[in-house]
Amino acid sequence: MTLRNEMITVFGASGFIGRYVVRELAKAGYRVRAATRRPHLAHELKPMGVVGQVQLMQANLRNEDSVRRAVDGAHAVVNLVGILSESGKQNFQSLQADGAGLVAKCAAEAGITNFVQISAIGADEDSKSEYARTKAAGEKAVREHIPSAVVLRPSIVFGMEDGFFNKFGSMARFVPALPLIGGGQTRFQPIFAGDVAECVLKAVDAPTKYAGRTFELGGPSTYSFKELMEFILTTIRRKRLLVPVPFFAAYPLGMVGEILGALPFVQPFLTRDQVTLLKSDNVVGETDEDLGATADFGIDLETVEAITPTYLARYRKGGQFSEDPELIS
């Protein structure tokens, strides 16, 4: 591999998608500056490249000086910072809206026009979901500072460390039933984290080709929430009830999840904002000149069926070494 001279700064590099992006950029020969709040917890990023190719840097989207240092001398910037639920100062507005705008502002002032912003399908400034509203606000702020920025909006993203398939696979080990929020009819188009990372690489590689456009990213197939729960249970070989929960009844569950999530080291299993999000399908819509899709990047997409069993197997009775093909209780 021949190393390039260009340095790419990746904000949110130690997160789920961030690790895949760092690996993809390093594999392509770029030098990567992994900007993260806690670099001492991100040492697994350094072996993704040759010695010295991946450097860790402390940066916090609530601290402008740290952001300026992180973008200094960079050829391009990728912003992946986002959260699914709020915790203290880590809230939607400060990270997904204000934080995205700050990164773009500092990048623009440093003369950087090659910028990739990771958003989400459903980003809408008029949404009733704060997650979706702040994602849209982040997109708008980025474009105000860098009109040439590329915005990528993935559906739910799957991979070894994902927060969807792992969440429900883990829950199924301990509870007799899984909830189908809104009856389980919401549709998703899951995309592999490695495919998202490849789209990021292509956007960085050819900024002129993709400049100023927004792309909705989805995998090769769509599924209802119920179909995904059935797939998870079949894969981990467990019998569990699937209980439809109307949206009006799901909001109290979301409140309970938020209360539990306020405890140290506890991730909420559901929030009221997530219930609101589940009222809308999470799939790629119709495309036009301004709104593109995964196909525009010309990559071969991985499927849920090919990837997720490799890590869902740990939730079987007996784990990955289980040989019993029958469903168990």
**Residue 198 belongs to some domain of the structure:** yes
Tell me what the pLDDT averaged over the chain comes to.
Answer: 93
Q: Say if residue 120's pLDDT is above 90.
A: yes
Alpha-carbon gap, residue 202 to 37, rounded angstroms: 26
Start-to-end C-alpha separation, the chain: 49
Q: 């690489």: which residue's tokens?
A: 201
**Among 223, 127, 226, which residue's Cα sits nearest to residue 182?**
226
Which of 68-77, 227-236, 280-289 has the least mean pLDDT? 280-289
The CA distances from residue 81 to 47, 48, 94, 181, in Å, are 22, 20, 11, 27
Total structural domains within the chain: 1
Examine residue 229 and state whether it is found in any structural domain, yes or no: no
| CATH code for position 27 | 3.40.50.720
**Nearest of 221, 241, 245 to residue 233 by alpha carbon:** 241
- Which domain range does residue 149 map to? 7-158+190-218+282-297
Q: Which residues contact 113 (CB under 8 A, 6 or more apart)?
A: 146, 148, 207
Give Cβ neighbours of residue 27 (< 8 Å, ≥ 6 apart): 1, 48
Q: What is the 3-state secondary structure (H, E, C) of 222-276?
A: CEEHHHHHHHHHHHHCECCEEEEECHHHHHHHHHHHHHHHCCCCCCCCCCHHHHH
pLDDT the model gives residue 187: 98
Question: For residue 23, is it within any domain?
Answer: yes
How far is 202 from 25, CA to CA, in rounded Å? 10
The pLDDT tens digits of the residues spanning 14-51 come to 999 999 999 999 999 999 999 999 998 899 999 999 99
Number of helices (H) and strands (E) in the chain: give both, helices first: 13, 14
Spatial distance between the Cα atoms of 192 and 200, rounded to a whole number of angstroms: 13
* Prediction pTM value: 0.94
C-beta separation of 100 from 138 below 8 A:
yes
Asked if residue 292 is part of any domain, the answer here is yes
Instruction: Give the pLDDT confidence of 131-150 residue by residue, as tens digits.
Output: 999 999 999 999 999 999 99
Query: Domain for residue 308, yes or no?
Result: no
Highest mean pLDDT of the ranges 205-209, 214-218, 319-323: 214-218
Residue 144 lies in a domain: yes
pLDDT band at 66 (very low <50, low <70, confident <90, very high): very high
Are the C-beta atoms of 241 and 183 separated by less than 8 Å?
no
Task: With respect to residue 245, please indicate whether it lies within any of the assigned structural domains.
Answer: no
